[in-house]
Amino acid sequence: MDVYKTIGKNMVKRRKQLNMTQLQLAEKCGVNRPYMSNIENGKNQVSCHILINIANHLHVSLEYLVGSFLQSNRDGFNEEIASYCAAVPRERRDDVRVVIKTISNSYQIK
């Protein structure tokens, strides 16, 4: 699978997790729905500017969108964490950060 198809697949997955329509995402990103459809179907090579805009509106990292095309993300860990965090209300995300930081610190070699 090429990177543009992966980006599209991950966009659709996350957009659906957020119960967002393709039109809603397109409007938030300042593009038309057919263009967003082409991005989601891997037919358009998306610019960095639009890709960053999409990631921001989907509340994910660029690494999430490009998936295994980045070396640091080969095990899918970030996608898994992102999917768990998607259900957390925005006002409670600091709680999640504290928990993750606490767990991470417990694995530090001292």
57-100 per-position pLDDT tens digit:
999 988 889 876 665 545 667 667 777 777 788 888 888 888 88
CATH class of the region 3-106: mainly alpha
Compare 51 and 85 and report the one with higher pLDDT: 51
Q: Could you give the CA distance from residue 82 to residue 76 in angstroms, rounded to a whole number?
A: 10
